[in-house]
Structure 1
């Protein structure tokens, strides 16, 4: 089996981030953690994922400080997984993916889950990339300055 290519030393932040959370199972585990799932069996039931793959992804997310292991809230011998502050910082990534999916992967009449503001009960406003003054930018108005340029 070929060695997995790692981008942990890449100069590109996107490459490093994809190295940690770039596979679909890791992102779906994080999504489920935001939805309140905390136990191995709950993740497995919700995702329909083989135990060995789930175990591997949970181990990686813990190793990267995205999830942490805590004692079971009910005092049982089972442990639970909880998002760390680093993991909670992925919220904006999941919202962005959700909104892209809503815009591009559903027919206009097709129903889907909706992310709501818990205070107002209303759907969240579309995320936008802005400059330091608040001006909305698109990909034509942003550029990467590579290391050494």
Structure 2
């Protein structure tokens, strides 16, 4: 694998919209030391509003809550969060695929899909050769 290409590739992140989820980008950049930024694909404040996602009770003991609450104008006394799983599965898939689509090498993908299909055929042929007797061994 060409590590220079990997490190230069855009980093996308999906996560909950809460104080912990939002901090993942900062933490990742700090811990890895090899990327200068991350781009949140979801869940964002705008998506929470656009999809009308329901809030759930947030983590009262998270030390990042008060800064998060001030940044977004939430009541500091009532922690809230929004889970990425609140999105409809089809919409979640659509958003993720749209975010990564520009970075997919179609030739590499086509070769991998063909390779996996060959492996499926080989496995099916192998399994077809097994007897249904008690020994469980090949025919």
> More helix by proportion, 1 or 2?
2
Q: TM-score, normalised by structure 1?
A: 0.27
Q: TM-score, normalised by structure 2?
A: 0.29
